[in-house]
């Protein structure tokens, strides 16, 4: 496996989230590193950040990683249910590994029980933020939300986990 490429994909995802948009940061890093997808798939990830339109639901970084999985192993015809089922199994494995690594790399005191943005925020910052609210979003930034040890790091983890799984399929 190309460890240098995986590290570069992680670095790019971490860097790209400085512009906001965790799902797009992860997806773009994977698109560039693995030569997958296009502008349309990148654009489709726009509203998935902050836990789906900043709602605190499923982590946008994870969603970007799962979109990359879909680009590599997704079905191209609706009736191709075996491909769909196999991709869902692999998606679950990526989500589980992402969850484990976030918990480990951030030294969570309690096990991370979900991949919800708001739960990841609790583990990192000791509270969650409603990113749809300007004041709370500013507080999120003040707590380090777009710092190197905040959501940027989460993006790096998501990209790395996906790259480790997808790179062998592409080479």
Mean pLDDT of the chain: 96
CB 166 within 8 A of CB 72: yes
Q: For 144-170, what is each residue's pLDDT tens digit?
A: 999 999 999 999 999 999 999 999 998
Range of the domain at 113: 3-170
Q: What is the pLDDT of residue 98?
A: 98
The count of structural domains within the chain is 1
pLDDT over threshold 70, residue 73: yes
Q: For 102-149, what is each residue's pLDDT tens digit?
A: 999 999 999 999 999 999 999 999 999 999 999 999 999 999 999 999
Q: If you count DSSP H runs as helices and E runs as strands, how many of each does the chain have, helices first?
A: 8, 0
Q: What is the pLDDT of residue 81?
A: 97
pTM value is: 0.97
Chain centre to alpha carbon of residue 168: 19
Q: What is the pLDDT of residue 49?
A: 96
Q: Which residues pair with 116 in a beta bridge?
A: 58
Alpha-carbon distance of 162 to 155, in angstroms, equals 11
CB 61 within 8 A of CB 151: yes
Q: What is the pLDDT of residue 1?
A: 67
pLDDT over threshold 90, residue 171: no
Predicted confidence band of residue 2 (pLDDT cuts 50, 70, 90): very high
């Amino acid at each position: 496996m190309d460890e240098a490429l995986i590290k570069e994909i992680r670095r790019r995802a971490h860097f790209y989230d400085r512009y906001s948009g965790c799902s797009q940061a992860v997806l773009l890093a994977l698109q560039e590193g693995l030569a997958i997808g296009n502008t349309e798939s990148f654009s489709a990830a726009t509203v998935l950040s902050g836990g789906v339109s900043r709602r605190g639901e499923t982590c946008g970084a994870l969603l970007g990683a799962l979109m990359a999985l879909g680009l590599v192993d997704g079905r191209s015809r609706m009736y191709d249910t075996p491909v769909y089922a196999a991709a869902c199994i692999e998606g679950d494995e990526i989500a589980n590994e992402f969850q484990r690594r976030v918990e480990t790399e951030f030294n969570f005191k309690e096990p991370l029980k979900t991949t919800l943005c708001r739960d990841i925020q609790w583990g990192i910052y000791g509270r969650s933020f409603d990113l749809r609210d300007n004041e709370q979003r500013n507080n999120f930034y003040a707590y380090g939300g777009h710092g190197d040890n905040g959501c940027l790091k989460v993006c790096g983890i998501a990209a790395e986990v996906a790259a480790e799984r997808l790179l062998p399929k592409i080479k």
